[in-house]
Chains A and B, each alone.
Chain A
Amino acid sequence: RKEVEQDPGPFNVPEGATVAFNCTYSNSASQSFFWYRQDCRKEPKLLMSVYSSGNEDGRFTAQLNRASQYISLLIRDSKLSDSATYLCVVTRGNQGGKLIFGQGTELSVKP
């Protein structure tokens, strides 16, 4: 079992739809949490950090439930430009910020 697991993809949604991605992590020592975005044949880029209180950045909302070891990302009013792979990422303490990635969930937004 992988340390970080995500919903299998791909998600195919129409423009304007709301889509939610889920992620679970198995190591309770995980300390920091992120969503990265990776476009086809490009490098991963930070989309947003995830805080215990939940946080929002425009159309994107991230939630963290430490008790359930669960992370989510909600995208409202999907745009064509949101099409990408979304990677759930955790770090553990005392490992210098080593990122542990989920396998990613592919999103395709159609007109």
Chain B
Amino acid sequence: GAGVSQSPRYKVAKRGQDVALRCDPISGHVSLFWYQQALGQGPEFLTYFQNEAQLDKSGLPSDRFFAERPEGSVSTLKIQRTQQEDSAVYLCASSLLGQGTEAFFGQGTRLTVV
């Protein structure tokens, strides 16, 4: 399909394990965002890329969280030494560059840390 694709859809990790979440944005979309959504809450901003440049990572909760988009297309969010409080849905969104343009979301990766 032509939408934003995320994988895996579900991930169960043991506490202390490293995980990598993948996002394939819509082709041609310059902007890519990662959000974290806890149950019953709105999505919380994690980080933003414009092409391959990470312009804002102010929302990353700790240095265990790392994101990259090396070729300006696919992005990976990596969480090292996962903890139970990392359990959430991780949403990726992409958009054409500019204010007021619609952001399209992937279906998310539901991470459960046990």
Contact = CB atoms under 8 A, between A and B. Distances in A.
Interface of A: 4, 31-32, 42-46, 49, 87, 91, 93, 95-104
B105 A44 contact: yes
Interface string B39-54: 0111111001010000
Interface residues of B, number: 27
A44 B37 CA distance: 11
Interface of B: 31, 33, 35, 40-45, 48, 50, 55-56, 91, 93, 95, 97-103, 105-108
Q: Enumerate the 7 nearest inter-chain pairs by beta-carbon distance, A residue then B residue, closest first.
A: A101-B42, A43-B105, A32-B100, A103-B42, A104-B42, A101-B43, A46-B102
Contacts of B108: 43
A28 to B, nearest CB: 16
